[in-house]
């Protein structure tokens, strides 16, 4: 009878470890994709004189779409308030494109990358997030 308790305990531990690994893969992949998109946008902005061109608009739309999809998945695993700053900064990017405000656009890109970098350090596989 005791062996059954040990088997159940091992199954629970393996299940929790699987959840931690799945969370790490989804969260890290999503945040790294946002960082990659931000780097691509920075390269495009460096090549252009202004923000009002189709390439920048499409790159920001792509970032917004990818983040929207990833944010839906991440809301099941992490606190939504922890990741909503990225979405608000992406909305600011669109506003800066309309105003052709390159300086603030670059600052918002840096803020997004900073949030992603910080979140990669504390959002990961740990028992607190599982419980």
Q: Which domains are present in the chain?
A: 2-130 (1.20.120)
Q: Which helix (H) or strand (E) holds 100?
A: none
- Identify whether the C-beta of residue 92 lies closer than 8 Å to the C-beta of residue 66: no
**Who's near 100: CB < 8 A, 6+ residues apart?**
50, 51, 52
Q: Which residue has the higher pLDDT, 69 or 10?
A: 10
Q: What is the pLDDT, as a whole number, of residue 61?
A: 93
Find the DSSP H helices in the chain.
2-47, 54-74, 80-99, 102-122, 127-130
pLDDT tens digit sequence for 29-77: 888 999 999 999 999 998 887 888 899 999 999 999 988 888 877 766 6
pLDDT in tens, 106-128: 999 999 999 888 887 766 555 55
Q: What is the pLDDT of residue 65?
A: 92
Provide the mean pLDDT of the chain.
Answer: 84
């Amino acid at each position: 009878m005791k062996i059954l308790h040990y088997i159940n305990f091992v199954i629970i531990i393996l299940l929790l470890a699987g959840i931690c690994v799945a969370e790490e893969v989804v969260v890290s992949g999503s945040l790294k994709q946002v960082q990659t998109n931000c780097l691509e946008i920075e390269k495009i902005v460096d090549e252009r004189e202004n923000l009002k061109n189709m390439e920048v608009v499409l790159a920001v739309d792509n970032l917004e779409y990818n983040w929207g999809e990833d944010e839906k998945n991440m809301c099941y695993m992490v606190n939504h308030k922890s990741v909503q700053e990225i979405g608000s900064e992406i909305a600011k990017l669109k506003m800066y494109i309309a105003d052709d405000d390159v300086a603030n656009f670059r600052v918002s890109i840096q803020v997004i990358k900073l949030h992603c970098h910080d979140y990669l350090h504390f959002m990961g596989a740990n028992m607190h997030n599982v419980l």
